[in-house]
Every structure is written in C-alpha cells, then in structure tokens.
Structure 1
Amino acid sequence: MYTVFFILVLAALIDSCCLVVNASQDHQCSTFMYENPSCPESWHYWGNSCYRITETTFTWSEANDECRQLGGVLALPSSDQENNFIANTFQHVEHCWIDCNDLDVEGSWKCREGNVDITYRNWYSGEPNNSGDEDCAVLSRIGGNKREWHDVKCSRAERALCKIAGRPLLHV
C-alpha cells in the first residue's frame, strides 16, 4: 500500500518537474526536453503556461485574433527568464508578434498580456524608434539566439507568439 502511494507521489513530482533542467533564478524550469502533458500537442510548457508560434504569418491585429481563436492571448515576455525560454524554444523563428504597441498614443507603449499590463521591457538598443510609422512590437532574433524587441509596422506579416494557461493536472 505504501509502495503504491510512494509511486503515485513520485509520478506527480516528475510530472511537475523538468527531466533536464536549467533552473532560473525564480526556480521555474526554463528548458523542457519533453512536452508537458498539461499543454496541447505542438505547444511548449514553461511557468505553468503553454507557448506556440504559428506557422502562418499575420498582421499584428490578425495575430491577436489568431491567438484568441487558439484559446489564448498574444504573448508578451514578462521577465528575462521567460524571454530566454522563448529564445531557446523557438530558435528557428526570425521574428514574431508580441502584445506591445503604441497605437493609441505615439511613444506611449502599452505592453500587456490579455488585460494585464507588463512592466518588463527588452528593447534592442535604439528601439523603439518609430522609423516609418512603427507602432507594433516583434521579438527578433539578432545575431545568434538573443531575442530583443523591435518596433515595426503593424501591417507587416509575421508569426504570432501565442500563450495559453497550462491545463491543471491531478496530483495525488
């Protein structure tokens, strides 16, 4: 009886931990070498959320709509650790939309995830620069694997970085 209980507890712990871990300062797993069962297929788990970059490209507004259609929101990194997870997980993607824009007031950037304002910023040096009516932000891969933000025209066609909450798992 105790053996079965121990196995169930151990399985629950393994389910909630990384098999190969690069621990971040906030003790969240930043690299997963397997797909977490709390995420749908083709989504990647980190920090109790699931992430996906679309294969199709969209304008910024369409990207927002696409993420909602997938049951989530257009994502926005809220820490260096989350930004690094995205950079490491989606190395093959050059640019992707994030939920940050100054569409309402030029130079006043609203960066949010869903309805939550995010104070974290990771602008590339000299950005945002509004060079040619640039009102929406992308995560860009600049030289290697580093991801920083750039302001670009909202009408550009880019992939969307979507985020959904991980499904809760029953742990005994």
Structure 2
Amino acid sequence: MSICDREREKHLCSLGCQDCEHFITILQLISIVLLAALLTAILVKGSVVPRSQEHDQEKQHIHQKLDQLKSGLDNLCRPCPWDWMLFQGNCYFFSTYQKKWKESVTACKDMGAQLVVIKSNEEQSFLQRTSKKKGNTWMGLSDAKEEGQWLWVDGSPLQWRNYWSVGEPNNQDDEDCAIFSNPGWNDVICSYKAFWICKKPASHCSK
C-alpha cells in the first residue's frame, strides 16, 4: 500500500468517526429533550391534582356556607313572602303581568289572599302611588251585581267616593270594575286586562 493510500484511508476513518460522534451527540440531545418533556409532564400532572382537589374543597366549602345561610334565612321571621310588600301590617303582591278582573280575583284566592280591599286613606295613598309606576291596576271593587252599588270583594260597601277621577265612574260601555288609574280610580269593563294587587294579613313572628 502506498503512502497516498494510507493517508486516504486515515482521512476516511477520521471522517467516519466524526460522523459517528455527530450522530451520538444528536441522540444525546434527543434523549435530553425527551427526558425534559417527561419530567415536565410529571410536574404538571402533580400540580394539577392538588389544584383540582383544592377546587373541589373550595366548592364544597361554598356550598356549605350557602346551606348555612339558607338555613339562617329560613329561620328568620318573614311577615310577608319574598315577593310581597309589607305595609301597615298587611302584605301586598303586585302582579308583573295582566289579567281580567275575575281572573285577578281568582289569582289572589289561589295565593291565599284577595284582590285588594282598601280600608284607610294611608293605604289608598300607598297603593295609588305604587300602582302608578306599573299602569292601570285592578282593585277588589265592582258594581256588577247592581249598577251604582259599589261593593268590595269581601262584601263590604264602598264608604267614600273622593278617590274617583273627575267624571268617574261613568259606566260607559257597561263598566262595572274599578282600577287604579292616573290620577285616581276609574271604572272600566271587567274584561279589560290590567295588573292587579293581592292583599293578605302579615304573619306574626313568635318570640
């Protein structure tokens, strides 16, 4: 073998070793990356589990607090149901949609109340002011049994007439039922649809 052949073989060997070392280096880098990815996955999984457990514990704690609060509210004395308004010892329900007069009477009975019967000037002022925000609103007053004889739904007769608007009641088109209107009472046909007010006594709290 000539000197040139020896030098060429030596050179090729050295190139082969360099390629081999380069390949090994790449394998080592890939191994390091895979190991790092595996460690990251393990760490993330380890951190998610406690957080999930903490979240579940926090939700359970909130539910317990809400249950305690609900229990406390249930034990409080409420003279009126949540969606009723208290005024001078009575509870009032102001409807959010409209019905005919007879339907309103029935709706109040179904709630253990009656379509509102007014017993005082203070009550009239309160109801007139509150109903004004809603619009025309039924009261429990009608002269359907005998024209001009206005009776409340509890059978008692109307004792005063100074709350009617000017020119009312006029019985135009056979108007037999009374509403709160602006600025006072008005008689309209009983098939007219209006809001309504129910009334019942407030509950007494035991001490």
- Normalised to the residue count of structure 2, the TM-score between the two structures is 0.58
Given candidates 118, 126, 133, the residue that maps to 1:77 is 118
Given candidates 179, 184, 189, the residue that maps to 1:153 is 189
- Give runs of aligned pairs for residues 1-172 of structure 1, distance below 5 A: 37-110=78-151, 112-121=152-161, 122-142=163-183, 148-171=184-207
1-side partners of 2:92 and 2:125: how far apart?
Answer: 13
2-side partners of 1:166 and 1:116: how far apart?
Answer: 21
The RMSD of aligned alpha carbons is: 1.8
Question: Unmatched 5+ residue regions in structure 1?
Answer: 1-35, 143-147
**Percent identity of equivalent pairs:** 30
2-side partners of 1:39 and 1:69: how far apart?
Answer: 16
Check the 8 A contact 1:74/1:99 in 2, yes or no: yes
Between structures 1 and 2, the one with greater helix share: 2
Check the 8 A contact 1:77/1:120 in 2, yes or no: no
Check the 8 A contact 2:117/2:154 in 1, yes or no: no
Q: For the pair shown, which has the larger CA radius of gyration, 1 or 2?
A: 2
Q: What is the identity, as a one-letter code, of the residue corresponding to 2:92?
A: Y
Between structures 1 and 2, the one with greater strand share: 1
- Normalised to the residue count of structure 1, the TM-score between the two structures is 0.69
Check the 8 A contact 1:93/1:141 in 2, yes or no: no
Offset at residue 56 of structure 1 (A): 2.0
Deviations 1:42-81, CA, capped at 9 Å, x for gaps: 1111121101111121110000000001110000222221
Q: How many pairs are equivalent?
A: 130
Offset at residue 157 of structure 1 (A): 0.5
